Amino acid sequence: MANFSKSTVPQFSVEVYQNEYLPEGGREVNAIVTVTSTGGGTTGRRSLTGAPAATALPGQGPNAAVVIMVDCSGSMDYPPTKMRNARDATSAAIDTLRDGVAFAVVAGTHVAKEVYPGNGALAVADAATRAEAKNALRRLSAGGGTAIGTWLGLADRLLASADVSIRHGILLTDGRNEHETPEDLKAALDACAGRFTCDARGVGTDWVVKEVTGIASAMLGTADIVADPAGLAADFTEMMENAMGKEVADVALRLWTPVGVEIKFVKQVAPTVEELTERRTQANTRAGDYPTGSWGDESRDYHVCVQVPEAGVGQEMLAARVSLILPAADGTSQVLSQGLVRAVWTDDMVASTSINPQVAHYTGQAELAQVIQQGLEARKSGDFDGATAKLGRAVQLAADSGNADTAKLLSKVVDVVDAATGTVRLKAKVADADEMTLETRSTKTVRVKK
């Protein structure tokens, strides 16, 4: 392991799960890469290695800034509890801010307005600023449209004013992004991606799942539904706690591949399915970086699939080298940890035909997310046969892999006749909240049963 000079950087470990054995003529190599970081902030502000994390040092503020974006469009007043709950949730989130964290609150409509501190900068959390901020929330009132791109733009400007390494946003919306074009939103996301991370939440059922999940995906944050506004406070508190746990930002997954090896896909598969293949930036001639955002104490799994050139039985090659990279201010980068994906050609059929359990599991989880989305899409477009087939397959996969949460969500959309064979009937009447919950959470995966 590398010796980290900065105690704030968690220890990263990389484990590779694969069946490296290929039959004669075999070319596709699959591997699950488990990345675990420990020693970050979520262990009670103390690193697991015993050295105190920087956040705990007196006189030195935490290395983080957070901007909360609250939807204040006119629809937030229908019902009025929605605005009240959003205010309470923001208040709860502010209470969760650690001392020293830079923060701001933005009210979002068709334009973005600073609510607190309001001078184009960020406040530093302490007892006084937290009280001021909560006071300022009283001024929040509903009225106007929704243009999320402008909210993100303001959040970016505010976050950029702080000299911190962790920059995070929390975005709450209740409606359709209808006062700017989708292109505007995309442009804003492109501009902000990589500059800060952002969690997105939809409250109620009048928002568009694809918009919210799209924002979270682009900003390397989480997306979820809070169907009942009363649940907002708990959700905001949890999001803020997660944000406070982040200790290192801008970590990239670097994939080195030798000449002749083609990358078929790279995706995060746990805790959620996140396609990364197209988000590669070339690091050097043989390696590319995929963004992973910021890390606290956590573990994520990635599925890497590459195609190697043919080689004879008995040959061995390195198909890919997976490393976690932390860019430094001076343009260099630090390798946090790395793992090897190998290919070994054998004429032992038992070895070459066995499928690694991790690879099989996550292949199933990725398919699960896909068939749920396809099934709901088919249902919306009136293709009930297609929807039944896709959602039936989803029920089967969820039951197979022990993904109980997803199975439960599915059972609110379809009547399960036989989970093992995937025999289901579409429910005649499905609550909007249930359908949106299933769609939003379709990418959540479970880990391999041990």
From 18-26, 91-99, 104-112, 372-380, span contacting other proteins (CB under 8 A): 18-26
- Does 259 interact with other proteins (rule: CB under 8 A)? yes
Strands 64-71 and 102-108: parallel
d(CA 85, CA 54): 34
Residue 47 contacts residue 149 (beta carbons within 8 Å): no
In the sheet that holds 298-307, the strands lie side by side as 11-18, 28-38, 298-307, 262-270, 274-275
With respect to other proteins, which residue has the nearer C-beta, 16 or 239? 16
Among 4, 21, 236, 302, binds other proteins (CB under 8 A): 21
* Residue 275 parent element (H or E): strand 274-275
- Does 15 interact with other proteins (rule: CB under 8 A)? yes
Size of the site for other proteins (CB under 8 A): 34
With respect to other proteins, which residue has the nearer C-beta, 231 or 357? 357
Q: How far is the CB of 327 from other proteins (least distance, A)?
A: 21
Q: Which amino acid is at 129?
A: T
- Does 22 interact with other proteins (rule: CB under 8 A)? no
* Site mask for other proteins (CB under 8 A), range 181-220, x = bound: ----------------------------------------
From 194-202, 203-211, 213-221, 307-315, span contacting other proteins (CB under 8 A): 307-315
Residue 423 contacts residue 417 (beta carbons within 8 Å): yes
With respect to other proteins, which residue has the nearer C-beta, 112 or 320? 320
With respect to other proteins, which residue has the nearer C-beta, 60 or 315? 315
Strands 333-345 and 21-22: parallel
From 17-25, 160-168, 368-376, 424-432, span contacting other proteins (CB under 8 A): 17-25
Q: How far is the CB of 302 from other proteins (least distance, A)?
A: 17
Strand-pair partners of 254: 289, 323
With respect to other proteins, which residue has the nearer C-beta, 346 or 437? 346
Among 190, 260, 335, 431, binds other proteins (CB under 8 A): 260
From 9-17, 240-248, 384-392, 401-409, span contacting other proteins (CB under 8 A): 9-17
With respect to other proteins, which residue has the nearer C-beta, 317 or 426? 317
- Give the gyration radius of the chain's Cα atoms: 23
Among 16, 112, 209, 387, binds other proteins (CB under 8 A): 16
Q: Which of 259, 293, 286, 264 is nearest to 277 (CA)?
A: 264
Q: How far is the CB of 359 from other proteins (least distance, A)?
A: 11
Residue 325 contacts residue 301 (beta carbons within 8 Å): no
With respect to other proteins, which residue has the nearer C-beta, 124 or 266? 266
Two tokens, residue 241: 């706690």
Burial class for 394, CB neighbours closer than 10 Å (0-12, 13-18, 19+):
buried
- Does 313 interact with other proteins (rule: CB under 8 A)? yes
Q: 3-state SS string over 296-321?
A: CCEEEEEEEEEECCCCCCCCEEEEEE
346-385 residues in contact with other proteins (CB under 8 A) are 346-348, 350-351, 354, 356-357
* Residue 208 parent element (H or E): none
d(CA 60, CA 250): 22
* Site mask for other proteins (CB under 8 A), range 266-305, x = bound: --------------------x-------------------
With respect to other proteins, which residue has the nearer C-beta, 121 or 317? 317
With respect to other proteins, which residue has the nearer C-beta, 74 or 357? 357
φ, ψ (nearest 5 deg) of residue 99: -55, 135
Q: What is the DSSP letter of 330?
A: T
Torsion from C-alpha of 342, 347, 348, 352, nearest 10 degrees: 40
d(CA 40, CA 171): 24
314-353 residues in contact with other proteins (CB under 8 A) are 314-319, 321, 340, 344-348, 350-351
Label residue 76 left, alpha or beta by phi (over 0 means left) and psi (-120 to 50 means alpha): alpha
142-161 residues in contact with other proteins (CB under 8 A) are none
Q: Which residues bind other proteins (CB under 8 A)?
A: 15-17, 19-21, 257-261, 286, 308, 311-319, 321, 340, 344-348, 350-351, 354, 356-357
